[in-house]
Structure 1
């Protein structure tokens, strides 16, 4: 935004008086959204940091000499399910009170939301001529309202940390740092699903980063084995394969391909051959498009597609695992605001592509904000499923979003962000 009497733009509003109107209108819209989500969503976002209580209780139990994977929080049937190295990282929780742990976890998660959102929004704002700080200030509350984010915070989950580690690797790759890949390796050490990013690094011929990520993951597993061999043998030999430890596969909150197959088969057993075929298709299509995005210079779309693959392919992807829908919305907003699309979008009709991207961004954001999924069921175990077509589709709301995005999320043509005042690097932006 420039001075000297030139017209200024704020989110597409050209004149100075209208800038104020636009700011007030957008602030009011965000405030209204906060109120609606706080009072009228069918599945409230406050979860009493349930998963954090599992982590804290499990590491305390383990440090007392008990088997890590035998921990059961208040006889709920929920215990520790991550690799042993994750438990090593979480051992400081045992020294904190529950309130202190919740405060630390919430602060870290909200900070990660702000940093990651800024990484997505600032490059977009600069290219459009918007005020970056205002764009971020408006985007952060919206992101906090989106179900995967608010549930990650409400449960005290690790999904934002995993996204931050992957983002750190993208920044390291952009800058040519030799340690690029460590973030992905640590993410794998905490939770196995980010391993799909190693395949992405291999397919995009980022050999060193793929090797560093693999080596980091292996070294962390070896370290955990040295600290507690019995715990590692228990996890890799038994616990890893016990998907029922985290809940029933057919629960509506399991928005993975396995969850869909399990709901279709309920009350029978899911067809694992069908699931394997669907996962293979998702991996092939998603990786092919992610490689194309990488070659076009659209790093954000490439990484987002891989993240969506990880959510679809995992046997269990609870709604708070679906963080990768958030950067997908950032891509859609950028295209809706005029970012050029690589190749021929809809037969060379960029305006149609922009409008469809805008509709998609509003649809996904609104649905995640109000929790559309929960109008068709609740997160409990052994719940009856919808019988009509509309209800059955409603139970798969977020799965359908991810499948459609995997197929059509736009790959943006490489563009440069105008050099304005000094600001953070375009971590995941189009170059």
Structure 2
């Protein structure tokens, strides 16, 4: 049995390698190139951090100045070393996520650990949001680990969220979750941490801080086109329909109201609360690129645990189908023509899946996911 399991992992690894080599979705570490080029231009060449554009494109640095300080070692790092560091850090992040969310599922049922974990690691390489995070050289998995660490850091809960929010604005929503969940000490810790490192960036880099908070943060054209098919948020759906912004605001208000009601009345465990908040962030953000959808991963693990606990075959089949869809790059079929009602069902596939995860996670009244808090 052990031999067969190892052989199966080898066969699966070969299949994944063939998939990664043949599916034309490798991103050539584009975002890592933006990070590295921007901090080099800023710290070595003496330019403005937010004036930089990568290789003649419209894309430049879009994160707060503290993120630039955190990435400053890239300014003196060669390209091969930068790529290697990005891959290693993302691998570490995946291993931690598997340890936190998947290993307890296996151990609680007395199942073997190593072979399923090896297969799960391969699954991360296939799953498009994490696959894109690797191939873009993105930081999403690292931010997810920072936020997730607050589930296990009882003494300094909030520090991870505060640091993540100072690096990228999206995790700020988790401070809102802590307030809704009446975890006021953790919320204060997160807010103080975020403010402290942001002030540190202001003291170290006042010009960059002024440029970001007074101009760059409000300039959505720096990030990309709202209607681009990679934008799998509600705003992207409506932009591809050329619908009024009021529809998006109404949708955001509906989702946020339901999320607030769910947290306050159902009082979910922190693992479930964090998972649902990550999905909400993806749905309501003006731009949610496909690689941002790694925030769905904790929720998917909780649904896997629920499936095994209840032996719900329909949910298991749905999870499997969802994994296949989100590994297939299906939305890119409409990359050239994402507009209008004909493209509406397919070009927004990942949005529909995000909504399905959101509704399924919030449907059950019992506290789910406590195992993830104790691992």
Q: Check 1:416–1:47 CA distance in 2 against 1; reply closer, same or farther (3 A cut).
A: closer
Aligned to 1:142: 123
Match of 1:197 among 149, 174, 184: 174
Aligned to 2:16: 34
For each residue in 1:351-409, what CA deviation from the matched residue of structure 2 results, as whole angstroms up to 9, or x when unmatched?
Answer: 5xx123202210121112222212232xxxxx4325554x3211001111111211122
SS in 1 for 2:58: coil
SS in 2 for 1:324: helix
> How much has 1:264 moved relative to structure 2?
0.8
- Give the unaligned 5+ runs of structure 2: none
> How much has 1:162 moved relative to structure 2?
0.6
Aligned to 2:284: 313
Match of 1:395 among 328, 347, 353: 347
Residues 1:375 and 2:333 aligned together: yes
In structure 1, C-alpha distance between the alignment counterparts of 2:284 and 2:147, rounded to whole Å:
18
Is the contact made by 2:272 and 2:367 (CA closer than 8 Å) also made in structure 1?
no
Q: With the length of structure 2 as denominator, give the TM-score of the two structures.
A: 0.92
SS in 2 for 1:189: helix
Is the contact made by 2:66 and 2:166 (CA closer than 8 Å) also made in structure 1?
yes
| Bigger radius of gyration | 1
SS in 2 for 1:286: helix
In structure 2, C-alpha distance between the alignment counterparts of 1:28 and 1:125, rounded to whole Å:
21
Q: Check 1:296–1:235 CA distance in 2 against 1; reply closer, same or farther (3 A cut).
A: closer
Query: After the TM superposition, which residues 246-395 of structure 1 pair with which residues of structure 2 at under 5 Å, given as runs?
Result: 246-265=223-242, 270-290=243-263, 295-297=267-269, 299-339=270-310, 354-377=312-335, 383-385=336-338, 387=340, 389=342, 391-395=343-347
SS in 2 for 1:77: coil
For each residue in 1:143-194, what CA deviation from the matched residue of structure 2 results, as whole angstroms up to 9, or x when unmatched?
Answer: 2211111111111111011101011111113xxx1x2111000000000010
Higher helix proportion (structure 1 or 2): 2
Match of 1:185 among 146, 162, 166: 162
Q: Check 1:225–1:238 CA distance in 2 against 1; reply closer, same or farther (3 A cut).
A: same
> How much has 1:290 moved relative to structure 2?
4.5
In structure 2, C-alpha distance between the alignment counterparts of 1:149 and 1:208, rounded to whole Å:
32
The root-mean-square deviation of aligned C-alpha atoms, in Å, is 2.3
Q: With the length of structure 1 as denominator, give the TM-score of the two structures.
A: 0.81
Aligned to 1:380: none
